[in-house]
Amino acid sequence: MTGAPSAGAAAAPIPTALLGGSGYVAGELLRLLAGHGGFAPAAVVSESRAGEPVGAAFPHLAQAWSELSFTAAGALDALFASSRRAVLVSAAPHGASAPAVAAALGLAARRGCALVVVDLSADFRFAEAAAWSAVYGHPHPAPELLASFERGVPEHLGAPGGDRFAHPGCFSTAVLLPLVPLLSLGLIRPEVAVTAITGSTGSGRAPSATTHHPERRSTVVAYAPLAHRHEPEIVELARRATGVTAELSFVPQSGPHARGIYATLHARLARPARADEVAAALAEFYDASPFVTVATAPPRLIDVAASNRAVLGVAARGDQLVVTSALDNLMKGAAGGGLQWLNRRFGFPETQGLAAPGPGWL
């Protein structure tokens, strides 16, 4: 979806606040905003690094944002008091994002600031509080807000109807991009198996025994097979987009690379078809989607790393179908997808700030 900028989009950059500001996703969004022009970071919230220059956490951004420092959450009140409208993007951890978003919405309402929210955590991806609690094991922190969020991959929804958006997780985005059209077009039986390998940035900035680089280097290991929290998220978002409840077997894996997800989807075709026929159907489905490419050759992860592109590769034999899906977890699966939502909401071209190709090597 693209569109001419609205009158508001042509005005001064829209002040933008980031929660979870010192994490990888927030750093990626700051990198994108440096080349966008329509949004200006006005508060980068990090309680642990408040007062430090943004360049201290992200040296590669030191020149782009030389005057920008991390703030505490208290800075949001002054921002909303001085702004007629603003944007809030939350890259805070799940469980922490919802109460922080709720508090920010309350502040903005009291100050008369129209606030657009994009949540990149998992807190608003389910429409029902009970479904969220079943996955995360405790009550939802802000159930009263769930109904106000639009949720899903931008390519699978129409023009934004509100001001609050929940972007799916990176694994979910990689699986939903092939799964939704396959189900929508009736091309497959609704029993699907997916294996997906992710880079270490998907585990966040704080190292752990399993994400520390010497533990991941030169190896691949599965984790939470058939029990990962993104499995019910994928099923629910696919159902909302297609009306079909799929039976999903999901096996995530940790890879030795830093960024990118490579997912392999196995399904049975509803009727035998050639790979080029299925690829053509998927390509037509994404004809108006500038970031999704479909081919019959398997994609390479390096070709999409650090870009907002996703590439799907199709193989078929008889009634067997394999679709491989490659995307960057920090971009299409998080910060880039969030910026797509903002571009749509404010009438910018969907590719604005996102059109740069990946580096080709890392």
Question: Does 320 score more than 70 pLDDT?
Answer: yes
Question: Does 203 score more than 80 pLDDT?
Answer: no
CA distance 318 to 295: 19
pLDDT tens, residue by residue, 292-302: 999 999 999 99
Q: What domains are there in the chain, each with its CATH number?
A: 14-168+332-346 (3.40.50.720), 171-329 (3.30.360.10)
Question: Does 4 score more than 80 pLDDT?
Answer: no
pLDDT at residue 57, as a whole number: 96
Of the chain, the percentage scoring pLDDT greater than 70 comes to 96
pLDDT at residue 204, as a whole number: 67
Residues designated catalytic:
170
CA distance 118 to 343: 11
| Separation of CA 59 from chain center | 24
pTM score of the predicted model: 0.94
pLDDT at residue 160, as a whole number: 86
pLDDT at residue 3, as a whole number: 38
Each as own residue / partner, the long-range contacts of residues 203-212 (CB below 8 Å, 24 or more positions apart, any chain) are: 203/254, 204/23, 204/24, 204/93, 205/22, 205/23, 205/24, 210/254, 211/254
Mean pLDDT of the chain: 94
Q: DSSP state, 127?
A: S
pLDDT at residue 9, as a whole number: 44
CA-wise closest residue to 293 among 170, 303, 347: 303
Once rounded to an integer, what is the mean pLDDT over residues 210-232? Answer: 88
Least confident range of 75-84, 202-211, 286-295, 302-311: 202-211
Q: How confident is the model at residue 11 (pLDDT cuts 50, 70, 90)?
A: confident
